[in-house]
Amino acid sequence: MEPTERKRRHSGRITLNDVARAAEVSPITASRALRGERSVAAELVERVKTAADQLGYVPDPAARALASQRSTQVPVLVPLLSNALFVDVLEAVHRTLLPHGYQTLIGVTHYEPREEEQLLRSYLAHRPAGLLLTGFDRTEAARQLLAGSGVPCVHLMELTQAPGVYCVGFSQIEAGHAITEHLVQRGRRRIAFVAAQLDPRTMQRAEGYRRCLRQHGLYDAKLELLSPQPSSMQLGGELLEDLLRTRPEVDAVFFCNDDLAQGGLLCALRLKIDVPTRIAVAGFNDLSGSDQMVPTLTTVRTPRRAIGEASAQMLLTLMRGSVPPQHSMDLGFEPMIRGSS
Amino acid sequence: MEPTERKRRHSGRITLNDVARAAEVSPITASRALRGERSVAAELVERVKTAADQLGYVPDPAARALASQRSTQVPVLVPLLSNALFVDVLEAVHRTLLPHGYQTLIGVTHYEPREEEQLLRSYLAHRPAGLLLTGFDRTEAARQLLAGSGVPCVHLMELTQAPGVYCVGFSQIEAGHAITEHLVQRGRRRIAFVAAQLDPRTMQRAEGYRRCLRQHGLYDAKLELLSPQPSSMQLGGELLEDLLRTRPEVDAVFFCNDDLAQGGLLCALRLKIDVPTRIAVAGFNDLSGSDQMVPTLTTVRTPRRAIGEASAQMLLTLMRGSVPPQHSMDLGFEPMIRGSS
DNA sequence: CTGAAAGCGCTTACAG
DNA sequence: CTGAAAGCGCTTACAG
């Protein structure tokens, strides 16, 4: 046995070397041909690709990551998976990145900047190809980790004009304003805002609600019901009951999320409170089931799949080393006026 | 410049070498100490761990994967993300694996064995540490890829006694049987089965339904309404309307999934059909919102979070090279009898 | 446009 | 219990 034989650890895998040998070129040329680098003669590219196909060659991501100092992983950090909103975003991201050879990793932050910082620390050690983050609410340490890493990053859901920050979303404030305005236009005067979780985007919707009502001289702080508890249908029902008890004069409710609003609607049904005659109800996000409620739920349709896809596209551009046409991409929103208002 | 200097590509990263130097041991010893291999003197382990902490060392997953021929990635293949069931499973898996240093990758098969085979092919190239698959319905090629890869694998949702197959789930047949039996016990005689998607597990529930009704001499094939369309609340409403039109004698419906059942309930509300007096309704899975419906939905609570956690634990054992106490883990189910039946 | 050499940061296999 | 050498499969940096 030769010494070189003695230490073999070959996995039986088809390697770039095998492809190169079959195509009768050097491994570097094979590597370049397969990655689509332009500086390779068309004929050689052809030969290499044919050989790779015939051998069933699949590049080793670990070797590639080690040599290039960059993996094909793209962590997506979202607050929760229990909100269908983020699942939709995640799905769209995943579907967009996969055909380009990138893996989507899940990161769940539970709306905790400290948790996000931890996750970021560990994901950055994996040399991710790119990063998708929800919103702008993070620790200073996280911000520095990001900046220092040089990893391309796109922010989801919210917008900013801050220089060097890439983002895809819509104006939460305007959306909150728009649906409140709708209730005002319907003749409502005692419009409550009912919210849970109280994350930054929820509070932006609250801001839109306030601005709208102040413009109409209708703002009343006592009609805001803010609960830090996690959002759920059940909580929506409970909050509506609270509200009707403590503020019986209320004639409309804007729930910050559709799960709360759906719960509110079902609660009204149970209590035989007529919607929208006695009280109008509006939600936010147009989640699954909102169009099936009795009455159907007025809400704001948010472009979450489009956000997932567009942010992934923007990231793809950045990972390619190019500059996207715009830093901030506003995908808008659409009020869905239905039976509950 | 020396030749060795000329080619430096060092990333500025803290490496195992840095740790070894600081701890005054060889890199191999440092590697072993950090991975908790037993054959290292306690004192050295201490020194290495301290050095690693002080330097803020984070192992490079790519290098580790390349050298060991095994990554820390665990792809989880589920049919859909639009069914909250699988999101719950995924979340539990993710939460269980993360503290052990494993990354959860999403794979969406859309209930298509061919898609699953494709995904498997690409994921296996990444040398995953382990694999989590939904059910047993796959192509022969996929089966062979799996067997040939030697990658530890646990199957979710269904059970089998097949040798060498690890699985965590519950009996879909028994669960379908149990909820049907409940309807019979409530005095129902014309019990319909309404299903969508028609995936293997749905059809197992159908089998449970059939067996139960045959035992009671109540089976009537005309009361089965099977739609290959994707499951949704809206479809549930439509199917219920169909059923009431074509089979007005029906006095109970077992929907194969809660989204259909919720849609059915809301449809009944709209049509002013009294539930449960005129018709009893039961669903499956106990998804979010089922306990909020009017009336509340009778259903079968399935242990999806427990399945996610237990399957991840089983996989952890397998990845450690140990043998789990059992091949097949039955986590059961729980009929939730509520207002709709 | 093409290639020989070295290196990415770890672990395996062997030896002692 | 510890270590020197080699190797995992790719890409970078340099040269021509």
Domain assignment of residue A239, yes or no: yes
Task: Tell me how far apart the alpha carbons of residues B121 and B142 are, in angstroms, rounded to a whole number.
Answer: 8
pLDDT value of residue B2: 36
CB of residue B28 closer than 7 A to nucleic acid strand D?
A: yes
* B103 chain-A contacts, CB cut-off 8 A: 73, 105, 126
Q: What is the CATH number of the domain that holds A20?
A: 1.10.260.40
B272 in the same domain as B243 = yes
pLDDT tens by residue, A138-150: 999 999 989 888 8
Task: Tell me how far apart the alpha carbons of residues B181 and A253 are, in angstroms, rounded to a whole number.
Answer: 42
pLDDT tens by residue, A278-309: 999 999 999 999 999 999 999 999 999 999 99
**Percent of chain A at pLDDT exceeding 70:** 97
Q: What is the CATH number of the domain that holds A283?
A: 3.40.50.2300
Residue owning tokens 């709306």: A111
What average pLDDT is seen over chain A? Answer: 93
Q: Are strands A153-157 and A166-169 parallel, antiparallel or unpaired?
A: parallel
Domain assignment of residue A4, yes or no: no
Residue A8 banded pLDDT, cuts 50, 70, 90: low
Q: What angle do CA B301, B306, B307 make, to 5 degrees?
A: 95
pLDDT tens by residue, B192-223: 999 999 999 999 999 999 999 999 999 999 99
Closest CA in chain B for residue A288: B233
Beginning with the edge strand found earlier in the chain, give each strand of the sheet holding B252-255 in spatial order.
B224-226, B191-195, B252-255, B280-282
B165 in the same domain as B309 = yes
A298 contacts chain B (CB < 8 A): no
B265 in the same domain as B217 = yes
| Helical residues (DSSP H) of chain A, grouped into ranges | 3-6, 16-23, 27-34, 42-55, 61-68, 84-97, 113-124, 140-149, 172-185, 200-215, 233-246, 258-270, 304-319
A271 in the same domain as A320 = no
Of the candidates A256, A270, A257, A254, the residue with the CA atom closest to the CA atom of residue A340 = A254
B61 contacts chain A (CB < 8 A): yes
A111 in the same domain as A138 = yes
pLDDT tens by residue, A163-177: 999 999 999 999 999
Residue B163 has pLDDT above 60, yes or no: yes
Q: Distance in angstroms, CA of B261 to C1' of C10? A: 53
Task: Tell me how far apart the alpha carbons of residues B61 and B6 are, in angstroms, rounded to a whole number.
Answer: 26
pLDDT value of residue A12: 74
CB-to-strand C contacts below 7 angstroms: A 6-7, 9, 25-26, 28-29, 32, 38-41, 44, 63, 66-67, 69; B 3-4, 7-11, 13, 15-17, 27-28, 31, 34-35, 57, 59-60, 63-64, 66-69
Domain assignment of residue A3, yes or no: no
Domain assignment of residue B165, yes or no: yes
B280 in the same domain as B206 = yes
Which 3 state secondary structure label does DSSP give A55?
A: helix
pLDDT value of residue A9: 64
Cβ within 8 Å, pair A292-B104 = no
- Comparing A28-42, A192-206, B201-215, B288-302, the range with the smallest average pLDDT is A28-42
Residue A269 has pLDDT above 90, yes or no: yes
Query: Count H helices, E strands: chain A?
Result: 13, 12
B65, B234, B291 member nearest A292 (Cβ): B234
CB of residue A38 closer than 7 A to nucleic acid strand D?
A: no
pLDDT tens by residue, B249-273: 999 999 999 999 999 999 999 999 9
Q: Please give the nucleotide, over all strands, whose C1' is closest to the CA of residue B39.
A: D1
Domain assignment of residue A80, yes or no: yes
Cβ within 8 Å, pair A60-B125 = yes
* Domains held by chain A: number: 3
Residue owning tokens 């809301």: B266
How confident is the model over B125-135, as a mean pLDDT? 92
Residue B9 has pLDDT above 90, yes or no: no
pLDDT value of residue B1: 32
How confident is the model over A73-96, as a mean pLDDT? 94
More confident residue, A231 or B18: A231
pLDDT tens by residue, A220-266: 999 999 999 999 999 999 999 999 999 999 999 999 999 999 999 99
Domain assignment of residue A210, yes or no: yes
Domain assignment of residue B340, yes or no: no
A273 in the same domain as A214 = yes
How confident is the model over A22-47, as a mean pLDDT? 86
B297 in the same domain as B185 = yes
Task: Tell me how far apart the alpha carbons of residues B171 and B160 are, in angstroms, rounded to a whole number.
Answer: 9
CB of residue B141 closer than 7 A to nucleic acid strand D?
A: no
Task: Tell me how far apart the alpha carbons of residues A225 and A191 are, in angstroms, rounded to a whole number.
Answer: 11
Portion 63-122 of B in contact with A at CB < 8 A:
63, 65-66, 69, 71, 73, 81-82, 84, 87, 90-91, 94-95, 103-106, 108, 121-122
pLDDT tens by residue, B271-301: 999 999 999 999 999 999 999 999 999 999 9
B311 in the same domain as B268 = no
B281 in the same domain as B265 = yes
Structural domain range at position A163: 70-170+305-332
Task: Tell me how far apart the alpha carbons of residues A224 and A219 are, in angstroms, rounded to a whole number.
Answer: 10
B176 in the same domain as B166 = no
pLDDT value of residue B10: 65
Domain assignment of residue B6, yes or no: no
B32 in the same domain as B78 = no
